[in-house]
Amino acid sequence: MAHSDGIDLTLALAPRMAPLLAQRTEGLGQRMPADLTFGNLWLFRRAHQWRWHDGLWPCISGVTYDGQGLALPLFDIGQAPMDVLRALVTRYGALFPLCEREANAVRDCGLVLTDNRDDADYVYQAQAFRTYQGRVLQKKANLMAQLLAAHVVEAEPYGVHLRDAAHQVLDGWMQDKGKAPGEADEAACHDALTLAPELGLRGFLYRADGQPAGLLLAERLQDGVWAVRFAKGLVRFKGIAQYMFHHFAISGGTGADDRIDWLNFEQDLGLPNFRQTKMSYQPAILLPKWRLLPPTA
């Protein structure tokens, strides 16, 4: 259950929060949870009911996707007094998400440490998308080949001048999925399309035979590590998803320093179709994200 204290998460908080998140995740490389960037937190502020709490031990409070109250710490929990951690867990219900090194730092604190498979991030070597080698991934290559045989596909680096065309893709994707307005991640995607530069999102709009067919927006997590935040393709262009991932892995983040070694596809939320699709690309890492909970009775 979310708390009413604190203040709403707004873009004005970025200069305060972003450096704290960067300190928490420094050096994690491909094992950085996809959640822990300011842009991601702001985009999904509605779903998590985020509230900002400043102070000596700053955090944001909210709820997980499965409805558990939480505090997301914006400090090094390995350096925090145990009574601070216990107080936050008691007040908000859990500390989440914690990475592996943070989990190791609090294993003996008297609280309960657990990881939920539904929370785990799917992390892939970018090279797998560049080549689609191997029996399983060959099916992805075949779908991409079918797309390219049937359509002339073009990619343009995303900018807000492409927002209307990108909204056509989003609206079509919502219809393809049978989603009502406001469902899925529609609101977050609308925000991303409007504020991509400010949020550090880079990617491409894809056209097939001149028609908007797909969009991909990603965010750099660490050197060589990118989280794919939004990937929408229209169902009538079979193979567009496989092509977008392949193209992005080859093309980079559209900047001179945007090497891509790893792609993070975030969690599956326990949804069977998400899990099946993400597993079909053969992740190199299922990255656990830990919850620190009150002691059991």
pLDDT of amino acid 255: 56
CA distance 225 to 104: 23
**Average pLDDT for consecutive 10-residue bins of the chain (297 residues)?**
78 98 97 98 97 97 96 95 95 96 91 95 98 96 98 97 98 96 94 97 98 98 97 98 98 70 96 95 98 85
| Domain-located, residue 164 | yes
CA distance 234 to 135: 26
| Domain-located, residue 276 | no
Residues 6+ apart with CB under 8 A from 24: 36, 73, 74, 75, 76
Indicate whether 82 and 140 sit together in one domain. Answer: no
Indicate whether 75 and 153 sit together in one domain. Answer: no
- For residue 87, give the H/E element and its range: helix 82-92
pLDDT of amino acid 109: 83
Q: How many domains does the chain have?
A: 2
Indicate whether 103 and 179 sit together in one domain. Answer: no
| Domain-located, residue 51 | yes
Burial class of 119 by CB neighbour count within 10 A (0 to 12, 13 to 18, 19+):
buried
Indicate whether 205 and 252 sit together in one domain. Answer: yes
CA distance 219 to 152: 27
| Domain-located, residue 274 | no
Interstrand relation of 201-208 and 112-115 (parallel, antiparallel or unpaired):
unpaired
What counts of helices (H) and strands (E) characterise the chain? Answer: 11, 14
CA distance 287 to 267: 9
Domain containing 190: what range?
121-266
- For residue 169, give the H/E element and its range: helix 163-176
pLDDT of amino acid 1: 47
Evaluate whether 36 touches 24 at the Cβ level (below 8 Å).
Answer: yes
Provide the token pair at 137.
């991934």
**CATH number of 251's domain:** 3.40.630.30
Interstrand relation of 225-233 and 211-222 (parallel, antiparallel or unpaired):
antiparallel
pLDDT tens digits for range 191-210: 999 999 999 999 999 999 99
Cβ neighbours, 10 Å, residue 100: 15
Indicate whether 128 and 142 sit together in one domain. Answer: yes
| Domain-located, residue 144 | yes
Tell me the pTM. Answer: 0.95
Burial class of 164 by CB neighbour count within 10 A (0 to 12, 13 to 18, 19+):
exposed
| Domain-located, residue 201 | yes
Indicate whether 61 and 149 sit together in one domain. Answer: no
Indicate whether 70 and 14 sit together in one domain. Answer: yes
**DSSP state, residue 4:** S
Interstrand relation of 285-287 and 121-125 (parallel, antiparallel or unpaired):
antiparallel
* φ, ψ (nearest 5 deg) of residue 154: -130, 150
